[in-house]
Chains A and B, each alone.
Chain A
Amino acid sequence: MSVRHALLALLSEGPKYGLQLREEFEARTGEVWPLNVGQVYTTLQRLERDGLVESDDAGPDGRERTPQKAFRITARGQTELAGWLRTPPDLSAPPRDELVMKVLVAMRVPGTDVHDVIQVHRRYLVELMQQWTRIKEAEAESDLGLALVVDAELFRLDSVIRWLDAAEGRIKRSAAEPLSEPSTATAPMVPRRRGSQTRQSAH
């Protein structure tokens, strides 16, 4: 995950030191995403190279020289940050999902009960969710950042379980449907992919 925009956001509040940026990032995200200090400094270097951030060894109030470098956001950095907040990420290409592949594959591997495969994963996901809910129950009422991050994770895991439930339902129904003869009547000719030809298919 790129943290450059999170660092820009923290700097938009005022100049800060590198270590301070790491601490604030972690504190505001419920300590759920630990940040490596090396990664922070590398990112800051790149931000500086790109003109989004500048540094000096005057302290954050601009006066005395300190051994640590203070970083501040530039006008270009502010523009970059504002643009990032308002621009939806490209979600158009679905990532290759290992679990989806497993279920597709499990339907065809001889001797495999796809329902067992689904249940193993479902149970694991529920166990993870139990852990997160415990954390939420204990701490989230007083820590908004933590609550948001934990909720995000719970919804993510939940969505996988819901897909497993839907998949199981579809597979069951499909297995229960009587096999039908392919219709010879008006089935359109469907060109299939051969080599590098683009596939067209009717849905």
Chain B
Amino acid sequence: MRHVSRTYGQDADEVHALTDVDLAVEAGSMVAVMGPSGSGKSTLLTIAGSLEEPRSGDVLIGGTPLAKMSRNAKARMRRRVIGYVFQDFNLLPGLTAAENVALPLELDGVSARKARLAGLKALDELGLGERAGNFPDQLSGGERQRVAIARAVAGDRRLLLADEPSGALDSANGEAVMRLIHAACKRGVAAVVVTHDAQLASWADRVVFLRDGRVTDRTAPLSGPEFLLSGEQSR
């Protein structure tokens, strides 16, 4: 995202949701966006995911500017490249875990058989292989959220956008969710995680702070993991 701005409303009611936001995420890395309610975090994610257009500025995915894509190309990209994990899970209650994961792939024209196999593989990697045939109301909150992540990364999607992915989960489940996203990044996925929770954000390679629609601060690049225990300050 380069110099992205977004406003809502007009004149006296105009709200500056985002102002001049620059953000880049590389393949294999995770960026967390922290900020209070109303800071623009969710708007940032919907724009990054091409679900909304910015008022000004550019969004590029895989080097291609969204503004130059046709509607069909954008729709294809949303189905094939981007995985969304939102707070209210939104699994379809009438479908099993495996069917939920496979659905977006099938909608994209992947054969039912291939979609099912890709779905089972994703569930397996997240330790949910044995729950594949269960319906959402038979799964715990933590399991449902893991199914949602499986759905977001199945079929080799390259960009993962997550809005409070640990939502209302307890700390053990929250950690499990972050480990999964982190593992996806190790496999080359680029992830943007929006959260107000510092423990979740601490899983990211970089944290960006949003306040009133602007990026006000960023964390320094991480030094080696031995830094803390050696007692040396290497800044």
Interface residues of A (CB under 8 A from B): 31-32, 115, 119, 122-123, 125-135, 137-138, 154-155, 157-158, 161-162, 165, 168-169
User: B197's closest neighbor in chain A, by CB?
Assistant: A158
Check A133–B203 contact: CB distance below 8 A.
yes
**Among B36, B202, B211, B217, contact of A130 (Cβ-Cβ < 8 Å):** B202
Q: What distance in Å separates the Cβ of A89 from its nearest Cβ neighbour in chain B?
A: 23
Interface residues of B (CB under 8 A from A): 34, 36, 179, 182, 196-199, 201-204, 207, 209, 211, 216-220, 222, 225, 227-229
Check B209–A165 contact: CB distance below 8 A.
no
Q: Can you name 20 A-B pairs with beta carbons within 8 Å?
A: A31-B229, A119-B209, A119-B216, A123-B217, A123-B219, A126-B219, A129-B199, A131-B222, A131-B228, A133-B202, A135-B225, A137-B179, A137-B182, A138-B225, A155-B199, A157-B198, A158-B198, A158-B199, A162-B198, A168-B36
Main secondary structure of the interface of B (DSSP, over half): mixed
Check A165–B196 contact: CB distance below 8 A.
yes
Known: A129-B202, A130-B202, A137-B203. A123 touches B36 (CB 8 A): no
What is the CA–CA distance of A180 and B228 in the complex, to the nearest angstrom?
49
User: B32's closest neighbor in chain A, by CB?
Assistant: A126
Known: A122-B209, A154-B199. A132 touches B219 (CB 8 A): no
What is the CA–CA distance of A137 and B211 in the complex, to the nearest angstrom?
29
Most buried by A among B182, B198, B199, B228: B198
What is the CA–CA distance of A133 and B181 in the complex, to the nearest angstrom?
14
Known: A126-B201, A129-B202. A134 touches B220 (CB 8 A): no
> Contacts of A125 on B, CB cut-off 8 Å?
198
What is the CA–CA distance of A115 and B179 in the complex, to the nearest angstrom?
32
Check B219–A165 contact: CB distance below 8 A.
no
User: B206's closest neighbor in chain A, by CB?
Assistant: A130
> Contacts of A157 on B, CB cut-off 8 Å?
198
What is the CA–CA distance of A135 and B223 in the complex, to the nearest angstrom?
12
User: B223's closest neighbor in chain A, by CB?
Assistant: A131
What is the CA–CA distance of A171 and B217 in the complex, to the nearest angstrom?
20
> Contacts of A162 on B, CB cut-off 8 Å?
198
**Apart from A123-B209, A158-B197: 10 A-B pairs, beta carbons within 8 A:** A119-B211, A123-B207, A126-B198, A130-B207, A130-B219, A131-B225, A135-B225, A137-B182, A138-B225, A165-B196
Q: What distance in Å separates the Cβ of B144 from its nearest Cβ neighbour in chain A?
A: 23
> Contacts of A123 on B, CB cut-off 8 Å?
207, 209, 217-219
What is the CA–CA distance of A158 and B209 in the complex, to the nearest angstrom?
16
Q: What distance in Å separates the Cβ of B187 from its nearest Cβ neighbour in chain A?
A: 15
> Contacts of B202 on A, CB cut-off 8 Å?
126, 129-130, 132-133, 154
> Contacts of A122 on B, CB cut-off 8 Å?
209
User: A125's closest neighbor in chain B, by CB?
Assistant: B198
Known: A126-B34, A129-B199. A135 touches B228 (CB 8 A): yes
Q: What distance in Å separates the Cβ of A148 from its nearest Cβ neighbour in chain B?
A: 13
